[in-house]
Amino acid sequence: MALPPSFQRHIDHCNNANLPGRRTEFYIAGQPAGWVTPEVAALVGTQADPAALRDIADTLLHAGLYRWRNEAFDVRAFPDGPVLGTIDRGVLPVLGIQAVGVHLNGLVKRADGLHVWIGRRALDKKLDPGKLDHIVGGGVPAGLSPAETLVKEAEEEAGLPAGLVAEATQHATISYAMDRPEGLRRDRLYCYDLMIPESFTPYPVDGEVAGFELWPVQDVFDRVRDTDDFKFNVNMVLIDLFPAAGVAAAIADRPPPRLGRAVGVAIPRRALLRSGLGGIRAVPRGARVPDPAGRRHPNPPRAHPGGGRYAGPAPARPAARSATDSAGSAAAPG
């Protein structure tokens, strides 16, 4: 059973790539790791040794095909496959290499119902400036796992302490293939939920987000249904959230605890979101982020200002950055 058009359009938008189309598979160490256009193939070929990835990135940079990000991302041919090499995140869509990212639904239980923390992307972001977004989201850099990245991004973007983020649960992985101006985005998103104490207020730390607002989940539902105000891939993660949040009655004929059960079929709720080259895979509800103690991330746990088990002094809020302080992401999930 398909989603209503008001929601399906978001799924289709993220799966607008037609592969192979004009593209040819791009092989690294003999494994199919990406897709390249004839123009890119003419510059770097369709076969590459991992040791040549930096030279390939330099060639494409000098050709003006992407913006250097100085952020290395792991390259894999398959999601669970070995790392074949690393390459700058800016070149990923040019070569059609899959990028990995994390998204977090920041949820708050209040007396008047479930609420969701919503971020607004900074106006200096190269990708979707000013769009509505999750409280936390970002690409997984080389050498880090999605869980480690979630802890790092949560503290850097929203001031969420590592001890609190360790209670997040992964609920889905979402994959899609999307043609965008920067190239072919083949993204794989690891999606998490986190119950945040009502007393805690997130705040911008690194300037990636202009600010945060706490919305009733019904308002989020209405905005996804009626507008394109959210960043393109955020819509899919939120559509997956709505059944568990109790607002799926408008998607299906009866209010379900999971979207898959909304049509009376015992399938993961993500299965209804499969479209084209994309797909959503459920993971066991309650799969927690590993305890960050001793994990590889640069920021140690910090006291949570909201009380309870995270009680402690509130961290100092940094001054807001100007719109010229940084350049936003133009490739890879985030």
Residue 257: CB atoms within 10 A of its CB come to 13
- Clarify whether residues 76 and 167 are in a common domain: no
Q: Are 30 and 46 in the same domain?
A: yes
Q: What is the DSSP annotation of 194-236?
A: EE--TT-----SSSSEEEEEEEEHHHHHHHHHH---B-HHHHH
Neighbours of 177 (CB within 10 A): 20
Domain termination site, one of 75, 95, 115: 95
Is the pLDDT score of 65 beyond 60? yes
- Tens digits of per-residue pLDDT, 148-181? 999 999 999 999 999 999 999 998 999 999 999 9
What is the share, in percent, of the chain residues with pLDDT greater than 90? 68
Of all residues in the chain, what percent carry a pLDDT higher than 70?
Answer: 73
What number is the average pLDDT over the span 242-267?
Answer: 47
Does 316 map to a domain? no
**pLDDT tens, residue by residue, 271-317:** 333 332 234 455 544 556 654 444 333 333 333 333 222 223 333 33
Strands 136-139 and 209-216: unpaired
Q: How far is residue 53's CA from residue 264's CA, in Å, rounded to a whole number?
A: 48
In a domain, 262, yes or no: yes
Full residue range of the structural domain in which residue 208 is found: 5-14+99-286
Report residue 28 CA to chain centroid gap: 25
Q: Are residues 179 and 86 in the same domain?
A: no
Tell me which of 44, 67, 95 is where a domain ends: 95
Q: Given 63, 95, 127, which residue is the final one in a domain?
A: 95
pTM above 0.75, yes or no: yes
Mean of per-residue pLDDT scores for the chain: 80
CA–CA distance, 129 with 11 (Å, rounded to integer): 21
Same domain, 83 and 217: no
- 203-218 pLDDT, tens digit each: 999 888 999 999 999 9
Look up the CATH number of the domain holding residue 71: 3.30.750.160
Report how many domains make up the chain: 2
- Cα three-residue angle 262-265-266, rounded to 5 degrees: 110
